[in-house]
Amino acid sequence: MTMRWFPDEMPEPAASAETVGWWEAAAAHRLVVQRCTDCGHTRHPPGPVCPHCRSLASEWSTLPGTGRVYTYTVVRQAFIPSLADKIPYVVIAVELDGADGVRIVSNLVDAETEEVAVGLAVEVVWEDMGPELAVPRFRPSVTPGSTTAGTGERR
């Protein structure tokens, strides 16, 4: 039940100078996080300046693609009309392994709606949208316990 969407009403990802590296990695099915090369602080969404030390220097750090659900919601009302046939669908915030507390928002797929829970171990699945565009969604981990992310507060 992997959802393929981006109907007309949904925004198309458009890379900026600050995010192009993230989307290039995604196209190669690598989940990355931006890491400050001066202080080591990780951040998401990608941006030009480290919010911790204000350095302009950063690199893309490749993550294992696993993590735990930090929080979630099940969208049951189709505010976005073209997603009406996807209702209900699950939006999750994932605390990513290896990212020092960084969370990203995505969907839980390949799962029954009732399976979602805070703390659920998940792993990335890539949805190819085109030759140069892939987006990460998550499914319950095939090998539970493989994740090391906590469910605590961001540093």
Which residue is associated with the tokens 């095939």?
142
CB of 39 vs another protein, minimal distance in Å: 17
CB of 77 vs another protein, minimal distance in Å: 5
Main-chain phi, psi angles of 44, to 5 degrees: -155, 140
**Stretch of 25-33, 53-61, 76-84, 139-147 contacting another protein, by CB under 8 A:** 76-84
Q: Does 141 bind another protein (CB under 8 A)?
A: no
Q: Scanning residues 13 to 72, which ones bind another protein (CB under 8 A)?
A: 13-14, 16, 18-19, 44-47, 70-72
C-alpha dist (Å) from residue 137 to 55, 79, 114: 30, 21, 17
Main-chain phi, psi angles of 69, to 5 degrees: -70, 120
As a whole number of angstroms, the distance between CA 150 and CA 84 comes to: 34
Q: Does 82 bind another protein (CB under 8 A)?
A: yes
**Stretch of 24-32, 52-60, 79-87, 141-149 contacting another protein, by CB under 8 A:** 79-87
